C-alpha cells in the first residue's frame, strides 16, 4: 500500500475516534428508549380517583413559569390561567428577567457571569428553570403548555422530565424535589456547555436547551443513580395526547419570534439534524480523501520530473521561472516522452508500491 494512504487512514482513524468519543453520548441517545424509567400509565390514577390522596407527595406544590416581564401575551393567558385555576393550593411563581437575575445573583453568584453572558435570552429562560427546580423544587411548565388535570400524581416521584420523539427529553415540563442530584448535576454542568456552535439554534439547543438536558440526563443515568436519585420519564401519551393527559398544548406565537420557532423545530428534529451532520461529515471526509489522493499523485509526478530528468528540469526551470499550472506541466511531460524519455508513467507506478 502507498505510504500516503496509510498515513491518511491513520489520521482519519484518529479524527473519527476523537469525534466518536466526543459525541458518544449523543449516539447512545439514539438507542435510549427510557423504558426503564418510564412512568407507566397504570401508575397514574385517573383524574378524580381517590387513589391520588393515598400517594406520597414529595415534590413541593410550586408551579414555576418564565417570561421576560409580568405582561403575559394574550395568546398564553388561557394556558397560564388553566394551570393557576387547577392548583389554587399551589404556590405560583413567574420568573421574569429581573427576578431571575436577582435570584441567580443572590443564590448562585458563581453562575452570574455565565447567565449575563448568554447571547440569546432563551438561554437564560432555559437555565433559570434548572436553577429554581434545583433550589426550591416544584414543577416547571412552559407558558404554552396548559394544564389539563392536577399535577398531584406527579408529585410522587423525586424527579421527572418529559420524553420527546423520537428520543431524548425536553425541558418544557419537569418536576423535582429540592436539591435533587440530577438537577444539581445539570446546574453544575451548564458552564462547561456554554459554547458557541456558529448556528444560534444549535448553540441554544446544546448549551442550555433540550439537547443539553438530554446529554446530561444520559450521562447521569450511566452512573446508575439510587432510587431517590432516579429521574422518571413522562411519556408522550401522558404528556398531552389524551383527555387524561396532564397538559394541553397551546400553539401560541413564539415570544422570541422566528428564531425561537426554528429552535423549537430543531428541538423536535435534533436527531434528524444529528444524522444529517454525520452524513455531511462523511461527504466532507470523502472529498478530503479525493483531494488528498489527487495531491499525492501530483506530488509524485512533480518530484519525479525534477529528480529523474536533470537535463529537462534545468531547461524547463531556466525557460519558465514561474511555476507552470498543472495542465501545462502535463503537456510538458508529454513533450519529454516524445523526446525519448518515456519512463514517466512507469516510474510513477513504482513510486506507488
Ligand atoms: C373531576 O372532578 C371535577 C370537579 O370536581 C369535574 O369537573 C371533572 O369533570 C371530573 N373529571 C372526571 C374525568 O371525572
Ligand atoms: C413587557 O414587555 C412588553 C414588550 O416587550 C411591553 O409592551 C410591556 O409594557 C412590558 N411590561 C412591563 C410590565 O414592563
> What percent of the chain is predicted at pLDDT more than 70?
79
Given a contact cutoff of 8 angstroms between Cβ atoms, the answer to whether 130 and 183 are in contact is: yes
Cell digits of residue 68: 421576560
- Using CA atoms, how far apart are residues 165 and 138, in angstroms rounded to an integer? 25
**How does residue 260 score in pLDDT terms, banded at 50, 70 and 90?**
low
Task: Place 2 in a pLDDT band, splitting at 50, 70 and 90.
Answer: confident
The atom number, within ligand 2, closest to the CA of 69 reads 1
Q: How far apart are the first and last CA of the chain?
A: 6
Specify burial of residue 169 (Cβ count, 10 A radius: 0-12, 13-18, 19+): buried
Give the three-class secondary structure for 350. Answer: helix
pLDDT at 10 over 60: yes
Average of pLDDT values for 154-178? 91
Residues listed for the chain: 353
Cα dist from 36 to 179, 220, 235, 333, whole Å: 23, 14, 12, 69
Q: How far is the CA of 40 from the centre of ligand 2 (A)?
A: 42
Residue 141: other Cβ atoms inside 10 A: 24
CB of 257 sitting under 6 A from ligand 2: no
Reduce the DSSP state of residue 20 to 3 states and report it.
Answer: helix
pLDDT at residue 214, rounded to an integer: 93
Mean pLDDT highest for which of 230-234, 320-324, 346-350? 230-234
pTM: 0.71
Q: State which ligand 2 atom lies nearest to the alpha carbon of 70.
A: 13
From residue 83, how far is each of 99, 145, 207, 261 by CA, in Å? 21, 9, 29, 23
Which ligand 1 atom minimizes the distance to the CA of 244?
Answer: 13
Mean pLDDT of 62-67: 96
Q: Considering every ligand atom shown, identify the ligand nearest to the alpha carbon of residue 149 and give its number.
A: 1
Convert the pLDDT of each residue in 205-220 to its tens digit: 899 999 999 999 999 9
Q: Pick the residue whose CA is nearest to atom 14 on ligand 2.
A: 69
Retrieve residue 308's grid coordinates.
529523474
Shortest-distance atom of ligand 2 to CA 71: 11
- 69 close to ligand 2 (CB < 6 Angstrom): yes
> Does ligand 1 come within 6 angstroms of the Cβ of 229?
no
pLDDT mean over 124-134? 97
Q: Residue 84: is its pLDDT beyond 90?
A: yes
For residues 73 and 233, give the distance between their C-alpha atoms in angstroms, rounded to a whole number: 30
Mean pLDDT, the chain, rounded, equals 82
Q: Tell me if 304 sits within 8 A of 348, measured CB to CB.
A: yes
Note the pLDDT tens digit of each residue in 14-40. Answer: 888 877 776 787 778 878 888 889 998
Ligand 1 site, residue 243, Cβ cutoff 6 A:
no
Peptide bond into 166 cis (omega under 30): yes
165: which DSSP letter?
S
Amino acid at each position: 500500500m502507498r505510504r500516503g494512504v496509510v498515513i491518511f487512514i491513520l489520521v482519519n482513524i484518529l479524527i473519527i475516534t476523537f469525534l466518536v468519543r466526543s459525541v458518544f453520548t449523543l449516539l447512545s441517545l439514539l438507542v435510549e428508549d427510557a423504558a426503564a424509567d418510564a412512568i407507566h400509565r397504570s401508575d397514574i390514577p385517573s383524574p378524580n380517583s381517590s387513589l391520588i390522596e393515598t400517594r406520597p407527595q414529595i415534590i413541593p406544590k410550586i408551579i414555576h413559569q418564565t417570561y421576560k416581564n409580568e405582561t403575559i401575551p394574550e395568546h398564553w393567558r388561557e394556558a397560564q390561567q388553566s394551570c393557576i385555576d387547577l392548583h389554587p393550593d399551589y404556590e405560583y411563581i413567574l420568573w421574569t428577567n429581573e427576578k431571575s437575575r436577582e435570584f441567580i445573583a443572590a443564590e448562585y453568584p458563581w453562575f452570574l457571569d455565565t447567565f449575563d453572558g448568554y447571547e440569546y435570552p432563551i438561554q437564560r429562560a432555559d437555565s433559570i428553570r434548572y436553577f429554581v427546580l434545583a433550589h426550591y423544587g416544584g414543577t416547571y411548565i412552559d407558558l404554552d403548555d396548559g394544564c389539563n388535570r392536577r399535577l398531584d400524581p406527579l408529585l410522587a416521584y423525586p424527579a421527572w422530565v418529559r420524553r420527546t420523539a423520537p428520543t431524548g427529553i425536553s425541558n418544557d415540563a419537569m418536576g423535582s424535589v429540592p436539591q435533587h442530584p440530577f438537577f444539581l448535576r445539570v446546574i453544575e454542568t451548564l458552564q462547561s456547555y456554554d459554547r458557541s456552535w456558529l448556528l444560534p439554534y444549535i448553540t441554544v439547543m446544546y448549551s442550555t436547551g433540550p439537547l443539553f438536558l438530554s446529554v446530561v440526563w444520559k450521562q447521569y443515568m450511566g452512573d446508575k443513580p439510587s432510587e431517590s436519585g432516579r429521574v422518571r420519564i413522562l411519556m408522550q401519551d401522558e404528556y398531552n395526547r389524551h383527555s387524561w393527559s396532564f397538559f394541553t398544548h397551546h400553539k401560541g406565537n413564539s415570544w422570541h419570534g422566528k428564531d425561537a420557532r426554528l429552535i423549537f423545530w430543531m428541538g423536535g428534529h435534533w436527531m434528524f439534524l444529528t444524522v444529517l451532520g454525520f452524513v455531511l461529515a462523511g461527504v466532507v471526509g470523502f472529498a478530503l480523501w479525493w483531494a488528498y489522493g489527487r495531491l499525492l499523485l501530483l506530488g509524485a509526478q512533480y518530484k519525479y520530473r525534477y529528480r529523474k530528468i536533470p537535463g529537462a528540469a534545468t531547461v524547463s526551470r531556466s525557460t519558465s521561472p514561474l511555476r507552470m499550472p498543472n495542465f501545462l506541466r502535463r503537456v510538458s511531460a508529454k513533450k519529454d516522452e516524445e523526446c525519448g524519455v518515456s519512463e514517466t508513467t512507469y516510474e510513477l507506478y513504482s513510486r506507488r508500491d
